[in-house]
Amino acid sequence: MKVLFVGDIFSKLGRKAFEENVKRIKNEQKINFIIANGENISHGKGMNEGHYKWLLEQGANVITLGNHSFQQKSILNFIDDVNNVVRPLNMVTDHGKGYVTVNYNGVKITVLQVIGKVLMDENNLSPFIETKKVLDELDSNIIICDMHAEATSEKVAYGYAFDGKVTAVLGTHTHVQTSDARILDGGTAYITDVGMTGPLDGVIGVEKSIIIDRYLNDGRQRFTPADTGKYQFCAVIIDIDDKTYKAKNIETIRIID
Ligand SMILES: [Fe+2]
Ligand SMILES: [Fe+2]
């Protein structure tokens, strides 16, 4: 069984990159299940109802979010009713789910997301303790965790904390792919950050001139997605043993076009 996980899809170029690559990769690599991080899909902030439906049409099975989960108001029209959208488990909110379990041809696949505390919203509960509580209850064959966090140390620690207890820990949020993908000693596939699917030449998705102006001149221009130029498509493929459900391999993908 092969799972494709696509990193943070950012605005127009992210959608273009997704559309131009996912179906081809699915066919070439015989992908069974597609997870996409959609927290930046709508103008860089959140996921509206139209883009949610679009992602499903494009083949996504489950969509994860992040710190921007609720920035598009229309997400409240559907997030409580669907079983294929995951917001961080340890985020304090009355809406959405921190994990979902999907039946794929008799295989129970859980997709769970947590958000970091380090350099992020201090109100978030502990990603470690909240995950532990959920894992004590779950009896899924495959568990994929999206660890949405800023600090590499927090993500590395999370990977080790749940090594052998989950199938994969895949970092998101920094939008920069790391080169540390591997299978940990306990059998969990791990990467600190899958990277972003979006503009190549922005500053983690945003028009670069706006960010440089902010650093150089204390500029206050509104953040606007870098919607022109080349894109980067960042993802990982996890190859999972069909009998033991252990991760056999994790492979990174980074396409620039
Ligand atoms: Fe993001
Ligand atoms: Fe994020």
68: annotated active-site residue: yes
pLDDT of residue 183: 98
Distances (CA, A) of 41 to 15, 139, 148, 193: 7, 32, 15, 18
CA–centroid distance, residue 7 to ligand 1 (Å): 8
pLDDT of residue 213: 97
Long-range contacts of 119-126 (CB under 8 A, 24+ apart): 119/150, 119/151, 120/67, 120/149, 120/150, 121/67, 121/91, 123/92, 124/88, 124/90, 124/91, 124/92, 125/90, 125/91, 125/92, 126/90
Give the closest ligand to the alpha carbon of residue 204.
1
pLDDT of residue 212: 97
CA–centroid distance, residue 249 to ligand 1 (Å): 25
Contact 206, 223 (CB under 8 A): yes
pLDDT of residue 149: 98
pLDDT digits (tens, 9 = 90+) for 140-154: 999 999 999 999 999
Quote the CA–CA distance of 230 and 57 in Å, as a whole number.
24
Contact 3, 33 (CB under 8 A): yes
Which stretches of the chain score pLDDT less than 50?
none
Locus of tokens 């990174």: 252
pLDDT of residue 4: 99
Quote the CA–CA distance of 160 and 156 in Å, as a whole number.
6
pLDDT of residue 82: 98
- Catalytic position from the list 51, 68, 148, 175: 68
CA–centroid distance, residue 241 to ligand 2 (Å): 30
pLDDT of residue 21: 98
Give the closest ligand to the alpha carbon of residue 68.
2
pLDDT of residue 225: 97
Quote the CA–CA distance of 226 and 46 in Å, as a whole number.
16
Homologous superfamily (CATH) of 2-256 is Metallo-dependent phosphatases (3.60.21.10)
CA–centroid distance, residue 242 to ligand 1 (Å): 31
pLDDT digits (tens, 9 = 90+) for 123-177: 999 999 999 999 999 999 999 999 999 999 999 999 999 999 999 999 999 999 9
pLDDT of residue 49: 98
